[in-house]
A = this chain, B = another copy of it.
């Protein structure tokens, strides 16, 4: 067995997931002891790489595992029989995908990589088993699900009560905040999704999204160049949010 110091790099490390992962606080492993982390590692052994546009899973696929995004960027969407579809979320490093499948043993949405990506595979039966042993893990998992519920509530609010520019402002601020909490610039980032996907997520048409971007640029809130966004006046965007007509 190789000699181990604080954060040893060994053969095991290549496989070891959670104990070495930089996404602790976002993921399931927060607050676990070393021993508990080790157990989680054995569970989360497998990784899976996906090319841009590749499906992680599809609606109807049998549910077996959750996925933690390691690198890359995903969207989830639902497709109705009549052809309408809606993007229900965008997921980045540290976020968990697949929880929609627990209730019915079948995934209810599609998860697609928007760029080359990698996920940790978390076989669900094993996660349940381990979370019966490790209280902290159990609670972390419950928190993750609950936060997802709260996120959805926020999106309902957005879809139900906000006008187009408010929605886009909320979207940009949310992206900025999530990039920030991953150590990237709060003010400058690259959107991985198209205007159409943003529109679908926000309940708007792509033209409306494009116009709102242009408007924000005119107002000096942001600089847009295709998918590259620079936020120049985040307070300006925030003001848009609480300051609706009636």
Inter-chain CA distance A82–B161, complex, in Å, is: 11
Partner of A156, one of B128, B142, B155, B161: B155
Copies in the complex: 2
**With known contacts A102-B142, A146-B99, A148-B149, A157–B78 Cβ distance under 8 A:** yes
Residues in B whose Cβ lies below 8 Å from that of A243: 82
A 85-115 contacts with B by CB, 8 A:
85-86, 88, 99-104, 108-109
Residue numbers of A with Cβ under 8 A of B are 78, 80-82, 84-86, 88, 99-104, 108-109, 128, 131-133, 135, 138-139, 142-150, 152-153, 155-157, 159-161, 200-203, 242-244
In the complex, the answer to whether B102 meets A146 with C-beta atoms within 8 Å is yes
- Some 9 contacts from A to B, beta carbons below 8 A apart, are A80-B161, A82-B242, A86-B160, A102-B145, A103-B146, A108-B153, A131-B132, A132-B135, A160-B202
Checking B103, B109, B149, B201 against A100 with a beta-carbon cut-off of 8 angstroms, the contacting residue is B149
Report yes or no: B145 in contact with A146, Cβ–Cβ below 8 A.
yes
Q: Which residue of B lies closest to A162 (CB)?
A: B84
- Assuming the A-B contacts A81-B242, A103-B143, A145-B145, are A152 and B150 also in contact, with contact meaning beta carbons closer than 8 angstroms in the complex? no
Complex formed: what's the CA distance from A159 to B204 in Å? 11
Taking CB atoms, residues of chain B closer than 8 Å to A138 are 128, 131-132
CB distance B103 to A157 under 8 Å?
no
Complex CA gap A156/B203 in Å reads 9
A153 touches B84 (CB 8 A): no
Tell whether, in the assembled complex, residue A102 and residue B143 are in contact, meaning their CB atoms are under 8 Å apart. Answer: yes
Contact A156 B101 (CB under 8 A): no
A84-B157, A99-B146 are known contacts; what are 6 more A-B pairs with Cβ within 8 Å?
Answer: A78-B157, A100-B149, A100-B150, A128-B142, A149-B149, A160-B201
Q: Report yes or no: B149 in contact with A145, Cβ–Cβ below 8 A.
A: yes
A154 to B159, CA, bound (A): 13
* Docked complex Cα distance between A130 and B24 (Å): 26
Q: Specify which chain B residues have a CB less than 8 angstroms from the CB of A153 in the assembled complex.
A: 78, 88, 100, 108-109, 152
Residues on the B chain within 8 Å of A128, using CB: 135, 138-139, 142
Residue ID in chain B nearest A141 by CB atoms: B142
Query: Which 7 pairs between the two chains have the least Cβ-Cβ distance?
Result: A102-B146, A103-B146, A160-B203, A159-B159, A152-B152, A103-B147, A103-B143
